[in-house]
Structure formats: C-alpha cells, structure tokens
Chain A
Amino acid sequence: MRKAILAAALLAGGWAGGSQAQVLQIAVDGSPAGLDPHLVTAFNSFQVVSGTIYEALTAIDRNLSIVPGLASSWTVSSDGKTYTFQLRSGVRFHSGAEMTAEDVASSIRRVQSPAIGSALASRLAAVDQAVATNPTTVTLTLKEPFAGLLTALAGIAIVPRTLEADKDTLQRAPNGTGPFRFVEWQPNSFIALAKHDGYWQSSRPQLAGVRYSIVPESQTRQAGLGSGQFHMLANIDAATALPLRGRPNVQIQDTLELAYSLIGFNTSKAPFDNPKVRAAINTALNRAEIVQAALFGAGVPGGPLSPALKDWAVDVAEFPCYRPDPARARALLAEAGVSQPITARMIVLPRQDIRDIAQVVQAQLGAIGIRVEIVNQEIGQFVQDWRNSNFDLFASTNAGSIDPDDYFFRAFRTGGSTNVYKYSNPELDRLLDLARTQGNQAERRATYAQVQRMIACEGPAAHIAYAQLFTAHRTTVRGFEILANRSLLSLGQVTIAP
C-alpha cells in the first residue's frame, strides 16, 4: 500500500513536469485593466500577456534585435512591398486549436479594424493586405515600403481567428500560443498562469506556472521578496531596487531602459516656438546633475534615442547643447530676442522620479532667468492637459521603442498622433517619410542620425535621461534575463532551484 502511494506521488510529480516545476511568484504594483493584447495600452497589462501568454510573428531578443517568433523565416520582395512569412508547424493555442496562417491574417485584420479600435493600428498603417497563401504561409502586401514592419510585427500578438470581431472575450479570458496559459484573475489580488503543455518549444516552459500578485505598496513588495513569499519584483526603479542590494538570497539584475524622461515644449506658444529658446533650455540643463539628484545616479543622460539601441543612437557627446553652459544659454536667449523674464507653466506626470526631475529642472532653468511654475497633477488631469497641449512645458516619461520610426513618426511628424508639441518641421517630415522607405539598414541609420541631430537641441522635446531598470529576484531563480523593453519573455526558460 505504502509503495502504491509512493508510486502515485512519483507519477503525480512526473506529470506536473518534474519535481522541480514550481510556480514563480511575481509581485507587481498595479492591476491590469484588461488582457486583450490588441486593446490594452498599459504596462500593467503587457507584463502579464506579452511573451508569456501571447507570441507574435517576430520577437525581440536580449540585444533588441529581431529574431524569428511564430514565423520561422521570411522573405522580402525587392521593392520592399511584399513580405512572405513561413510559419512554424505544430503551434497550438491554449484552447487546443492549431495555429494556422488564417489566424495570423485574421489577427492583423483585427488590429486594423476600426470596430476593434486597437491602439496598435497605426503601427500597421502601411499594411494593405494580409493573406493566408496556404496553411503555413502568410503574405503581407504594403501600400508603400515600411522598414519598421518586422519590429512592429513583434508587438502584434497572434490570437485565434474566431475572435476577429470580438472585443470582449480576450479582455478577460486570454487565449494565445505562448508558454503559459491563463488560469484565473482575481481583480486587485492576483493573476495566475499555468504551463502550456502543448507549447511548440518542447523543453519549455520549465515552470509549472506564474502568479502575479498585485501589491501596490513598494515597501510591502520589498518585504515579501525578503521573506521569500515572492520570487521576483520585475522591472522596478532604483528607489525600489537599491535598498534591496545586499539582502541575503536576493539578486539584482539591471539594464539601461528604453524608456526616457523628457521635458516637452509647446511649440505653438511663445517663446517656445523659437528654436533658439529651446536650444537655450537644452544648454542650461545639466543632465548629469539630474541623474544624480533625481535617479539616485542610476541612469545616463540621453538624447532622442536610448543608448540601449546601439545600432541607432547617436552619442550625446555629438550634441553641442549637451555640455551644460549657463552663460551660453543666456547668450542664446539674448540672441532669440524674446522678452524676459520668461515664465512657464510646467505640468508634471505624477510619478516620484519625474517630480524630482521637474524640481531640478526648475532650479537649473531658474539660473538662466526662466521662471518655471511646477504644476503637480493627478494622472487623469495630466493626461487630459497633455493630450490637449494645455501646457507651456511638461515633464514626463515615455516607454520608448525598438524601432526609431515607432517613436519619431507619431511624436514629431506634422500631425503625428502624439505630437502634443504641435511641432511642424517640413525638413524633418521629409526625413521621417524617407526613412520609412529605406530598406538598406546603413542608409536608414544615416537618416535617423540626421533626425537625432536635428531634434536633439532645437526639437520640441528636451530628452533628459534613460534610467537604469532593475529586476530583483531570489537567488534560487535561474535563467531570467532582464530586457530593456521590460518584456518578461525569458520566463519561458526560468527555473527555480529547490
């Protein structure tokens, strides 16, 4: 009898995926609003669904390069307007259905559909048609060449074709092809994922599941990691991570973020419509000092693109205004011929690091005679004022993108969807349009270098800094890799040592 029980226990252990298989406990700070990968816009949602529940045709690896995802390979026509994707075979949705080219084509149509209203639609604006040529081949035809397509596709989750016109189901009951399947969501409490047994990479995942506990208070999350109740605090800032340094059984990984802090100008209002004034402000800012004072030294001064994007970013040493020089800044203001003193109302995103940055900026601009009035707002008010360009200056942060087009085009092109600066520069527009059509990587890089030089000092935003991003986890957690775009993709390969 005892032997039988032992055998049953061993069997059960084997069935659960080996005696090592455990549930990874992650503590996160906020509850997601929904889980539909095409509809959600908040990071709280992305960290639950992307790379874990859902996958896309392409993926972004740790070097931020494009690698195959659900497409095993692809070819691009010589005119850059036709992409043909070969799909992996044996990929199954969590519901059990096999993923085919129809699902891919329907997912792309779903994102583009005005009735669904996906925020990702603009990333696929260049796509004219998505056609399933045969069950394992998908052909995308473009209206015009779009060099950012492969990067954009990495953000388009593949969902079952049956849900093409359904706006509600996936918000609460996700169904993807990723290493983990959705099990349960208790609002304000936790979200539970379990191993997807039919996952196409047979050795993955190693974990029995992932559980996201929603813990709003950072000190509580820290204490929970210390006690071992949580295995991981993913993608945290320096203020939360640095106190954990040196705690027993806790390991900290860090990387430079894609997200950046910035001061935005309303270029439809004097004197910020004057490029010389914007250059003066950029020259007055001491970014190294801001990093020290507001980011605990955990970050680097940055230009329009994150230094993490090694292929694209221009070294900030090449921007003349990045050498702080109050005297030169004052001279620029005098040259601009604007009436002084300048007063400006700066709205501030309600996040501690941004508030701290705003205060240092206020002091540094005060030194060249610009009086900044800081307006601390609650998030709803901030979003509304930001969207309506109801500000002289704003201090905020943006998530950042892997492909420069994804950021520059919507933010800085005339009429761009997040061009709250009301900035318009025909020469910049021409370059941004040109870069979209450049299939040659070196030419495209040269164009974006020109773009960066053009906006670094006189553009509508003063880019401040790229912060260091941290993930703290128990030393028993193996195989986790922190990524600059905050993706938790590597959870598929994580194990927990006993």
Chain B
Amino acid sequence: MLKKFFAALALFIVAIMFYDIASNYQERQQLSGVAQYYVEKGPSELGAANLVTSVVVTYRGLDTLGEVTVLFISAAGIGLLLRRQRDDKDPSPQKDNAPCSEIVDTAFHLLFPMILLFGIYIFVNGHLTPGGGFQGGAVIASGMMLYLLAKPNNTFNLQLLKKIESFSGSAYVLIGALGLFLAGGFLDNRVLSLGEFGSLFSAGLIPVIYVLIGLKVGAELSSVLTKFRDS
C-alpha cells in the first residue's frame, strides 16, 4: 500500500514537471547564442564540412576526452570483474564450443571485410560526412562481434588490443597538448593546416583525432566482448 502510494506520488511529480515543460514549449525560430556562433564561424575557423564534428572534437573537445575516459574506465572495470580465475592452469581457452550455424558462417565470410571497411570509412571521413570516431569504432566492434559469433573457438589477441588502446589513448592526449603550444589551446585542431574545405586531408587535426578515437573505441569494445564470451 505504502509502496503504491509512493509510486503514485513519484508519477505525479514527474507529471507536474513534464506539464510545465510541455505547456511552455514553443518552437525556436532561431538558434541560441553559442549555437549561432558555431554555425556562423565553425566552417571558416576549423574547416570541417561536418559541423557536428568541429563541435564534438574541437569546441567541446574536453567533453569527448571525458567520454573516452568513461569508456576506458568501464572497460577496465569489466576486465577487473571478468578476469580469468585459472591463471595457474593451462591458459588456452576451452575448445569444445559447438560450431555456429551455416547461415552465420556464410554471412561472416561475406560481411566481415565490408563491415570493417565501413567502420574505417566512417571514422576517416568523420569530418566530411555524418559519423566519427565513436560511430566507426562501434561499427568495427560489431564486425568483431560477428567474428566472435562465427568462430566460437578462436579468440582475439587481447595483449595487442590493449596495446592499440593505450597507444591511441595516450596519443590523443599528447596531440591535444600539442595544441597548447602550437595553436589556440588544448585540443585545438589548427596545429596542422586546415587544407581545402571539404577534401579528405582538411580540418587540421580532426581526422587524426578521429582515427585515434576510432581505433581506441573499436579495440576497447572488442576486448569487452571477448571477455564476456570467454570469461
């Protein structure tokens, strides 16, 4: 009874909050101050054709670094929780998993290279078309997921994934610090020249940072998936 009363009370409070938001809602006719600045100055200042990228990587670059850190901490936590208990015994994983179905195996051989290539395309072209490091890394990790499903007895080299992850993470921070000395501030992309607007080698450091983030996210999510399967 008391439980239901508190549930109803919580629902009522949420309803009041949403009523307040909904009754005062009116569609914006123009962008708010800082968004207006980004839309007007972003392309000429940073040279990225995809405006979202210039906001995510440069104007709000510190937030992206925070997101990468959160992902790193959660991957490290999963690694701590699911670490192998039987280090003293034979370290090779059990080889008695049932093989996957014919459909998954055929789809794996057809789709795996394409998914990887698409993921790389997404993060290399992040400053030109929708997408970026996180998206490309997640697509690569879903390709790795297909690999883990199709080959139940194979596993990834976790040491190599760990090395890729630490290399790209530290390179991201170092490149960001480079901006302190050579350009306007931390994670400023104008260390390299901006290039021609809309071409592949443009927008200064943004493609470099996105390639690093893509590698880091892809390696991290793949190692999380591997640990979940093999723990």
Tell whether A pairs with B: no
A contact residues vs B (CB 8 Å cutoff): none
B contact residues vs A (CB 8 Å cutoff): none
